[in-house]
Amino acid sequence: MKITLLFLLLSVMPAKKQLTIWMIGDSTMSVKAPDKSPETGWGMALAGFFREDVRIENRAMNGRSTLSFINENRWQPIVDHLQKGDYVLIQFGHNDEKVDKNGVGVSLTAYKANLAKFITEARRRKAIPVLLTSIARRHFVNGVLQDTHKGYPDAMRALADSMQVPLIDLEKKSMQLLTALGDEGSVRLFLHVPPGHEHYPEGVKDNTHLSPEGANAIAKLAVEGMRAQIPGLTKYLR
């Protein structure tokens, strides 16, 4: 009788909702095709920091800005599937700053408006938006790391403050990391491949996109930010 009663109770109890973390952004975050290996988006490494019962939906796409992500109808299907308590990690800027590229680049004002759209629509669905500034490019001049993002991280910081959105300052964190490693020491975090590689026969020296080690390092910085800014997520971390 007791076993039957327990079975009946379990059968009518609602299933515990799985936490879903949605990721929208550009190529520094996105999932890479196998033929692009060893290029790795930091979003690919993020799952390793969370418990297995957390679902990571990485919808970031190469070459996308806030504008093209919206115009290509990549955002609305996410909105349609957002559930109460979901998190939405938002990292754009690398391509928004390309104002001479039609359909991609946007002004700082439009950039903030598009970010505000993501925030407002996520909140409308009772999801929790989180802003992340763009990661630093590896661009040293005379041993000094340069800021290449043309004010877009500052615009995101201002918006996070005005809309009271959690902000993980990946630009600041990654600049600190690259500066500590130095010009030569930071090479290993990026897509530097010698000639003869099966996917890059002529080799490549890419100081924007990440190696597996770099993706893991940036994901670790993101998780550090989550611990500091988003206490609700800490219980889901390994």
pLDDT of residue 6: 42
Into how many domains does the chain fold?
Answer: 1
- Residue 9: pLDDT over 70: no
Counting Cβ atoms within 10 Å, is residue 36 exposed (0-12), middle (13-18) or buried (19+)? Answer: middle
Position 16 scores a pLDDT of: 53
> Looking at the domain assignment, is residue 11 inside a domain?
no
Does 7 fall in a domain?
A: no
pLDDT confidence band for 7 (50 / 70 / 90): very low
User: Taking the CA atoms of the chain, what radius of gyration do you get in angstroms?
Assistant: 20
Query: If you search the block for the tokens 């940036």, which residue do you land on?
Result: 218
pLDDT interval class at 173 (50, 70, 90): very high
Q: Residue 199: is its pLDDT beyond 70?
A: yes
Q: Please, which pLDDT band fits residue 14 given cuts at 50, 70 and 90? A: very low
- Is there a domain that residue 148 lies in? yes
Give the model's confidence band at 18: pLDDT under 50 very low, under 70 low, under 90 confident, else very high. confident
Q: Which range, of 12-26, 71-85, 92-106, 192-206, averages the lowest pLDDT? A: 12-26
Positions marked active-site: 27, 202, 209
Instruction: List, edge to edge, every strand of the sheet that includes 20-25.
Output: 55-58, 20-25, 87-91, 128-132, 167-168
pTM, 2 dp: 0.92
Residue 133, in any domain of the structure: yes
Domain-located, residue 98: yes
Is residue 12 in a domain? Answer: no
Specify if 122 maps to a domain: yes
Residues of the chain above pLDDT 90, percent: 92
Residue 216's pLDDT band (boundaries 50, 70, 90)?
very high
The CATH number of residue 109's host domain is 3.40.50.1110
What's the domain range around 44? Answer: 19-234
Question: Is the pLDDT score of 81 beyond 70?
Answer: yes
Q: Which residues contact 72 (CB under 8 A, 6 or more apart)?
A: 64
Quick one: which H or E segment has residue 127?
none
Tell me if 40 sits within 8 A of 211, measured CB to CB. Answer: yes
- What does the mean pLDDT of the chain come to? 94
Is residue 8 pLDDT above 90, yes or no? Answer: no
Asked if residue 6 is part of any domain, the answer here is no
- Distance from the Cα of residue 106 to its chain's centroid: 19
Question: Mean per-residue pLDDT for 137-159?
Answer: 97
- Whether residue 94 contacts residue 208, with contact meaning beta carbons closer than 8 Å, is answered with yes
